[in-house]
Structure 1
Amino acid sequence: MGVELSFIWAGLIAFAVLAYVILDGFDLGTGILFPVLGGDRHRAHAMNTIAPVWDGNETWLVLGGGGLFAVFPLAYAVIMPALYPPVIVMLLALIFRGVAFEFRHRTPEHKILWDISFFFGSVTAALAQGVILGALVQGIEVENRAYAGGYWDWLTPFSLLTGLALVMGYALLGATWLVMKTEGPLRDTARQAAWIAGAATLFLVGLVSILTPMLDNLYLDRWFDRPNVYFTLWVPVAMLGTTALFVTGMRRRHDVWPFVSALLLFGLCFVGLGISFYPYMVPHAITIAAAAAPESSLWFLLAGALVLIPMILGYTAYAYWVFRGKTDPEEGYH
């Protein structure tokens, strides 16, 4: 039962991380696109589209990180020493970005400064998250259940590539979000940005996908050995279908399809990571079962999660429902 609980918790944490990536991704992407959105009126309008939901989106980051600490303490104890620098940079960037978000509307005389801060905070946070992902994919050196690598092991060409891929992916989410939530010139600008970000994201995701099996034979076996290949082949096929949905939606000037296809793209990438990582919590050193806390702790925490997660889902769904539809450029966050 303990092993079963550990896999249930792995699924819950994976869900929290995915929810964070797709929800906070579009508001980080909006910040990444700030320099190309035009004048102050368009930037303010773009910010108004994310104002009601942006801070609530980060709840999932807290849930994922806190869950890892409480439920998989061994994995947390190995991962954090390996990734302290990018994790700290990410958290500082998110804090700085939040300050810029609030102060932009309260100190108009320094609006340009806060716009620049919002942009750099968004880019830095996205890049750091991508680097963290790349460092996990390339592997963490573990000996005697402890991190045995160097201080800069996380910084490699591959981790920088995944960082760039995530920055462009978030830009795609942000652009398609603005297409869905705005009208007029801002929507046209966002549509142009979506074409560029979409092409760059697909190219970089494809490049990362090609390089990942070369990092470790276990990745290669997981994806291409028989009978595994019969169960993994559907992921790239679904990627092609998602790309077709994106292109069709953009060409037909459908405002919702591009955003939905961007979400599906991130979901498929996450599924691909799950296929590559399973059954490890720290690839390929510590399994999910080995990293889990005692069974009594898993039960205790699960009881709380069964109350907390539906509450978060409920107020998140309610917020998005209340603020559905297009955003009026003359109204919003003040």
Structure 2
Amino acid sequence: MDVAYWLPVAWFAVIAFGVFMYVVLDGFVLGLGVLAPLVRDEAQLDAMMNTAAPIWDGNETWLVLGGAGLLAAFPAAYAAILPALYLPVLLMLVALVFRGVAFEFRFKAVRTRRLWGWAFAAGSICTAFWQGVILGALVRGLPVSGGDAWLWLHPFALLTGVALVAGYALLGATWLVLKTSSGLQALARRLARPLVLAVAGFMVVVSACLPFLNSRVMARWFSDGHFWWLSPVPLLAALVVWALWRMAAHPARDARPFVLALALFALAYAGLLLGMWPYLVPPSLTVWQAAAPPSSQAFMLVGVVCLLPLILGYTAWSYYVFRGKLEPGQGYH
């Protein structure tokens, strides 16, 4: 195994890690927006948004890392993905901007305060949906050269879009259980249980569809005896769903639902990566076929090795500084 083999693997790990960090860190903030229409009044929405106000700005760093890493380390994959998914990527970015503007403007507005609250919810829901559509289209399979610009408009991709909205809502509900108390926490607990069932149902349906896609993602699970060593992933996911169902309504367990929701996302993500490997763009483009020259990958990897600890450091520090529950009167107004 030479450097040309291991460098693409290392870059695949970096990009996968960056995307996962974005999903879990910005996922619960998007989940807050998904749940925003369900709060009782403006005071509850204030508290909901204030739980994320000090930490949400840095989340897009991970999205930039994943996108820039894909362009720099796997230009062939970038060239295949962007033309086929240009419209959903554009709509996702517009929704992200809309969500960010609404988040900031709502705290300053007076007469249009409620309008910006609805804008925050709409931007969050659309962002989550389009991210799921992009994931579903990629998993379904993309042409390496050319192709239909509407290829993403498929029932499976739309299904994963709705599934990710539900998943982010679950992250948001468990985050509120962790960070709030009294009425808002009670609402989050009431929402968490049906969301657990919805997410578990979507995971089952999506997983059942995967072996029948043209991309053959997940086909390796059922060939050459792979299922026996991969089977702990769905078994652990089922166990986490059961534990999350129990902990979501437990009055003395505020941190565990959020930790379990993160674990459920991690297991689903791990199962997807194991099913896709070694393809970066299913069904035909592997990490080695899509890779940039080894000299380019090695040069850029030095920068990532230097920057990644800094990003992890300031992210961990911000969460440490703003740890604990949000007390009444704290945050922006």
TM-score by length of 2: 0.97
The 3-state SS of whatever aligns with 1:281 is strand
1:283 equivalent in structure 2? 282
1:292 corresponds to 2:291? yes
Alignment correspondent of 2:151:
153
- Between the aligned partners of 2:215 and 2:77, the Cα distance in structure 1 is 22
Of the three residues 63, 81, 87, the one matched with 2:83 is: 81
- Measured after TM superposition, the shift of residue 248 of structure 1 is 2.5
Does residue 327 of structure 1 match 2:329? no
Q: Residue 178 of structure 1 corresponds to which residue in structure 2? A: 176
Distance 1:96 1:251, change over 3 A: closer
What are the residue-to-residue correspondences of 1:117-266 with 2, within 5 Å?
117-142=119-144, 146=145, 148-216=146-214, 218-219=216-217, 221-253=219-251, 254-266=253-265
Q: Matched residue of 2:332: which SS?
A: coil
Offset, 1:217: 7.6
Which runs of 5 or more residues in structure 1 are unaligned?
Answer: none
Residue by residue over 1:233-279, the C-alpha shift from the partner in whole angstroms, topping out at 9 and shown as x without a partner, is 11110111111221231242211111111101110111111111100
Structure 2 equivalent of residue 313 of structure 1: 312
Change over 3 Å in CA distance of 1:153–1:217 after alignment to 2: closer
Check whether the contact 1:141–1:149 (CA below 8 A) recurs between aligned residues: yes
Give 1:299 shift. Answer: 1.1
State the distance in 2 between where 1:333 and 1:265 align: 32
TM-aligned CA deviation for residue 280 of structure 1? 0.8
> Distance between the aligned counterparts of 1:329 and 1:109, measured in 2?
23
1:224 Cα shift? 1.4
> Counterpart in 2 of 1:47?
49
Question: What residue identity is the alignment partner of 2:10?
Answer: I
Percent identity between the two aligned chains = 49
Q: In the TM superposition, what whole-angstrom CA distance separates every residue of 1:173-230 from its partner, at most 9, and x where no partner exists?
A: 0000001100000000011111121111110111000111111483353111232011
Give the RMSD, CA atoms, in angstroms: 1.1
Match of 2:21 in 1: 19
**Structure 1 range deviating more: 284-293 or 17-26:** 284-293
The Cα of 1:149 is off from its aligned counterpart by 1.6
Q: For 1:79-129, what per-residue CA distance to the aligned partner results, in whole angstroms no more than 9, with x for missing partners?
A: 000000000000000001100011001112111110110000000000000
Q: Deviations over 1:127-177 (max 9, x none)?
A: 0000000001110123xxx2x321111011100000000000000000000
Alpha-carbon contact 2:196-2:245 (below 8 Å) kept: no
Q: Which runs of 4+ in 1 moved over 4 A?
A: none
Aligned residue in 2 for 1:71? 73
Superposition map of 1:91-106 within 5 A: 91-106=93-108
How far apart are residue 69 of structure 1 and its match?
0.7
Cα offset, 1:326, TM superposition: 0.3
SS of the residue 2:280 aligns to: strand
2:118 is the counterpart of 1:116? yes
Q: CA deviation at 1:288?
A: 0.1
Q: How many residues align?
A: 330
Mapped partners of 2:162, 2:254: distance in 1: 26
Helix, strand or coil for the counterpart of 1:284?
coil
Q: Is the 8 A contact 2:237 2:267 kept in 1?
A: yes
**Consecutive unaligned residues in structure 2, runs of 5 or more:** none
**Alpha-carbon spacing, 1:75–1:85, altered in 2? closer, same or farther (3 Å):** same
Distance 2:41 2:187 in 1: 12
Q: Calculate the TM-score normalised by the size of structure 1.
A: 0.97
Paired residues of 1:214 and 1:220 also in contact (CA < 8 A): no
Q: Does the 8 Å CA contact 1:37/1:190 hold for their aligned counterparts? A: no
User: Which range moves more in the overlay, 50-59 or 218-227?
Assistant: 218-227
